Amino acid sequence: MEEKHIDRLCRHFSEDTTSEEAKAFQQWRAEQNHEQLCQLLESLQFNSQIEKKAEELRPVILADIYRRIENDKKHTGKIRRLMAIAASVAILLIGSGLGWFYGLPRQSEWLQVSCAMGNHQTLQLPDGSTVTLNGGTTLSYPQPFGKQIREVRLQGEAFFDVQHDARKPFVVHSEEIRVKVLGTRFNVEAYNNEESVTVTLESGKVAVQPEGSQVECILQPHQQAIFNKKTRQLKRAQANVTQVTGWIVNDLYFNSTPLKDIVRKLERQFNVSFRITSESLANTSYTCDFTDDESLETILAVFALDKRFKYRQERGGYIIYE
């Protein structure tokens, strides 16, 4: 039916609430709006969590819409306005990623800072907290920041010096864990290509919790929480904070560290690539320390002193072989 004819019928039945024709038209119009609203909601594509929550909320939204329609049947024009407003509200609610439910702003409102391989970068958040990013790290935070809760997203490694604010907890989200603090200094290592996520506390107190889990690990100073991505196990251990955070001043500490983990740290610090030719060599462990005035060539020469591996430079990277 053309829109101009619908408008004419709406005007005709606007004052008539008793005739069977008016009631039939109102019922038809409500069904048309219901169908249009459902089609519009179904046409939107979201991730699985949002779709699940949207399906839970859809009947609640529609029930409230039709409850109001029943109360306002005397004014057909008001019904049309109500349906349009309800549709807009529903779209805004779901289209924003149910941000009010998760406590997170829309993705488009998050600012992102990335630190390239071979570099470090320190930034100050709007609340005065400072974050130092290691190479290959991305940090995201909402704008405006910290209205009710201070939240950031981390992929990579960063050292946080958080300003105390008991009213607004500070939460770090990685792909696997969340770290909740009030005011403290701590390090989070959460690279996608690492087997675990590690949180190391220098001062204050933090709660570490795997995403989607009720398990929580409370850390005291000089402790660390290690979350194994494969086994989903979370454990607490003592930590040498100086060694863990040495990367900030370009110091490297390796304590029985597998070679595959060592070369990943070298890649981030010197912006180079490595390829290890055998699995047994990749799992060979080394213990040694290096300060920031030592070059990559010096570091590799030290590792090669015990004759367990050789190396050569090739196509902008390094090959490590037996």
Q: Where are the domains of the chain?
A: 3-102, 107-243, 250-321
Q: pLDDT for 114-143, tens place per residue?
A: 999 999 999 999 999 999 999 999 999 998
Structure tokens, 85:
């407003």
Cβ pair 90, 37 in contact under 8 A: yes
Tens digits of per-residue pLDDT, 129-179?
Answer: 999 999 999 999 998 898 889 999 999 999 999 999 989 999 999 989 999
Q: What are phi and psi of 204, to 5 degrees?
A: 90, -145
C-alpha to C-alpha distance for 9 and 264, rounded to whole angstroms: 71
CATH number of 107-243: 2.60.120.1440
Q: Tell me if domain 107-243 and domain 250-321 are identical in fold.
A: no
- 191/95 Cα distance (integer angstroms): 30
What percentage of the chain reaches a pLDDT higher than 70? 66
> Whole-angstrom Cα distance, residue 25 to residue 27?
5
Decide if pLDDT at 76 tops 60: no
End-to-end alpha carbon distance in the chain? 79
Ranges 29-33, 47-51, 209-213: which has the least confidence: 47-51
* Cis peptide upstream of residue 210 (ω within 30 degrees of 0): no
Domain made up of 250-321: CATH architecture: 3-Layer(bab) Sandwich (3.55)
- Threshold 0.85, pTM exceeds: no
Alpha carbon 149 to its chain centroid, in Å, reads: 15
- On whether the CB atoms of residues 286 and 236 are closer than 8 A, the answer is no
Residue 238 to residue 23: CA distance in whole angstroms: 74
